[in-house]
Amino acid sequence: MPIPERVPARALLFFGVLALCGWGSTGVDFGRLGDLMPIRYVRVEGEIHNLDPVAFTKSLLPLAQAGYFLADMHDIEETARSFPWVDRVQVARLWPDTLLLTVVEQKPVARTRDGGLINDRGTQFSPEEIQSQTNLPVLDGPPGHEKLLLATLFSLNGQLKRRGMRVDVLRLTGRRAWSARLSSGVEIEFGKQDPALALERLLALLPSLGEARIGALQKVDLRYPNGFAVRFRQQSSADAVSLIRPDLVECGRIRSRMYT
């Protein structure tokens, strides 16, 4: 909502002069106030990175034609909020002829599969152009689960940061099964268990594979109750043998499989 404003002393003086001139007794044509006190400038303030200020200002000009005193601040605010990149906005009059809009832009932290964006509160918005946001991770899940997906993304990334990785794609199916693709290209199947707990268990066991094997990982399947299955990137036959630890397989800790 617009911040309540104190009427400037010069505005009070203006109306005082009108009253002394007899306008109060003969009747004032308030429709003419737009001509007497027009809005000549629309000022937009805030950290603007993605909002088109020209198109934004142009959309507000027709509403400002009512003039300094008669322009509807609520209508102006609603029009400003209709722009997808606008998260919050405050509208105020700046004496004697300026309309001031203080804009807080959306802060995108993820993309959706259908080309939308998700802000830092887990709310989806859909600007027309998102090419500059292609570096953001993708969250893919049923409608209404954006906040859960975002919270899970933050939790997984918090653990992966120590290994210099992050989630590129996080998926949640309609059957509540989780999966992810990491920045290293590794695919992880979590199933219906808590992804954060499953990843914590995986990261605790990964050192047993050795750095060479970790670097060769292509897919990890965590849907097993007593271990996990791994798929390595295609190697030569000699490399394939070196990637498998029979001692760990026998202990049931790690199940290694090669797919060629």
- On whether the CB atoms of residues 209 and 244 are closer than 8 A, the answer is no
The C-alpha atoms of residue 247 and residue 5 are separated, in whole angstroms, by 76
The C-alpha atoms of residue 189 and residue 222 are separated, in whole angstroms, by 6
Residue 158, pLDDT > 80, answer yes
Which residues contact residue 140 at a Cβ distance below 8 angstroms, ignoring those fewer than 6 apart? Answer: 112, 113, 149, 169, 170, 171, 172
Question: 150 pLDDT band (50/70/90 cuts)?
Answer: very high
pTM of the predicted model as reported, rounded to 2 decimal places: 0.77
The C-alpha atoms of residue 37 and residue 67 are separated, in whole angstroms, by 6
Residue 23 host element (H or E): helix 23-26
pLDDT in tens, 21-51: 444 444 445 555 556 799 999 999 999 999 9
- On whether the CB atoms of residues 260 and 232 are closer than 8 A, the answer is no
CATH architecture of 108-257: 3-Layer(aba) Sandwich (3.40)
Domain borders along the chain are: 32-105, 108-257
- On whether the CB atoms of residues 39 and 100 are closer than 8 A, the answer is no
CATH architecture of 32-105: Roll (3.10)
**Residue 24 CA neighbour count, 13 Å, CB half:** 8
List Cα–Cα distances, 86 to 50, 93, 131, 144, in angstroms.
9, 19, 18, 21
Question: 208 pLDDT band (50/70/90 cuts)?
Answer: confident
Question: 224 pLDDT band (50/70/90 cuts)?
Answer: confident
The C-alpha atoms of residue 111 and residue 138 are separated, in whole angstroms, by 5
pLDDT in tens, 74-124: 999 999 999 999 999 999 999 999 999 999 999 999 999 999 999 999 999
Residues β-bridged to residue 188:
180, 220
